[in-house]
Amino acid sequence: MLYVIGIGPGGLDMMTYQAREAIEASEVIVGYKTYTHLVKALVGDKPVIKTGMCKEIERCQAALELAQSGKTVAIISSGDSGVYGMAGLILEMVTKQKWDVEVKVVPGMTASIAAGSVLGAPLMHDFCHISLSDLLTPWDLIEKRIINAADADFVICFYNPRSRGREGHLKRAFELMTPHKDPNTPVGIVKEAGRRKEQKWILPFEQMDFELVDMRTLVVVGNQSTYIDQGIMITPRGYSV
């Protein structure tokens, strides 16, 4: 059995009961080293296979080999395993390479949900997720998605918004959205959502501070109805209040 587990944003209190049960039932844990540290309290003395960044295929290969050998294995992702996590890659490998492994995908709370609760209620109407990482997706396609999402007035959640190698991507995203956004459109920034060092900022679109953002941050850009009141970000669903 191979469990593909979303462990949530980081805090154990935000992990689902199903995820905890799957980790407890597993004999071996596989994951990116930062994520394995987040579940250390649940793992105990079980063997842990850790890999670094950009080693996703190696992680999945190791997990599949262990599971095929008869072990009950957990491969973990932060947030939800099916949102920029390992579920897709595992299932691609199983179906295309014909692994004889039973796979169970265990959902978790993705970063946008955790960040949304910190900011207030910014995701009450239609929203989308866009990753600004162009390691696996061509940048021209990402730009097209940003423009179309802004034009359609989605609330937009930006994952992987800014890193040392991609410092200008978020700024470029805001330039692309500018023709479609009122300068006072609320923008929510949450760093390390659900973790001990969690921080948040809410500010108007035209005052966006890109220096606040890194790879541990989620950026939520509101739609034309989103507003700020009493320090919280609200996107109306359309009820008469």
Task: Write the burial class of residue 203 (CB in 10 Å: 0-12 exposed, 13-18 middle, 19+ buried).
Answer: middle
pLDDT digits (tens, 9 = 90+) for 204-218: 999 999 999 999 999
- Tell me which CATH homologous superfamily contains domain 2-106: Tetrapyrrole methylase, N-terminal domain (3.40.1010.10)
What is the average pLDDT score of the chain?
95
| pLDDT, tens only, 28-87 | 999 999 999 989 999 999 999 998 888 999 999 999 999 999 999 999 999 999 999 999
How far is 139 from 66, CA to CA, in rounded Å? Answer: 36
Report helix angle 139-151 to 169-177, nearest 10.
Answer: 40
In the block, tokens 């035209």 appear at: 206
Sign, Cα dihedral of 23, 86, 124, 130: positive
232 is written with which tokens? 């919280």
Fold of 111-234: 3.30.950
| 111-234 matches 2-106 in CATH topology | no
Look up the pTM and report it.
0.93
Strand partners, 104: 3
3-class DSSP string for 114-147: HHHHHHEECCCCCEEEEECCCCCCCHHHHHHHHH
Query: Rounded to 5 degrees, what are φ and ψ at 79?
Result: 65, -130
For the chain, the structural domain boundaries read 2-106, 111-234
